[in-house]
Amino acid sequence: MSGSADRSQPATPRLASRRLASRRLASRSLRVSADLGRLAEVRDLVRAAADDAGATEACTADMVQAVDEAATNAIIHGHAGRTGWVEVGATTLDDRFVVTIEDDAPAFDPTTVPDPDLSVHPAERRPGGMGVLLARLCVDEMTYRPRPGGGNILTLVRTFERNGKEDR
Contact by Cβ (8 Å): 63, 139: yes
Structural domain for 154, as ranges: 33-105+131-168
Please indicate, yes or no, if residue 37 is contained in any of the structural domains.
Answer: yes
**pLDDT tens string 97-143:** 999 999 999 999 999 987 777 877 777 777 667 788 889 999 999 99
Please indicate, yes or no, if residue 10 is contained in any of the structural domains.
Answer: no
Count of domains in the chain? 1
Please indicate, yes or no, if residue 2 is contained in any of the structural domains.
Answer: no
pLDDT at position 78, please?
94
pTM as predicted? 0.80
Verify cis geometry, omega within 30 degrees of 0, for the bond prior to 10: yes
State the first-to-last Cα distance of the chain, in angstroms, to the nearest integer: 30
Please indicate, yes or no, if residue 144 is contained in any of the structural domains.
Answer: yes
State the CATH number of the domain containing residue 143.
3.30.565.10
Please indicate, yes or no, if residue 139 is contained in any of the structural domains.
Answer: yes
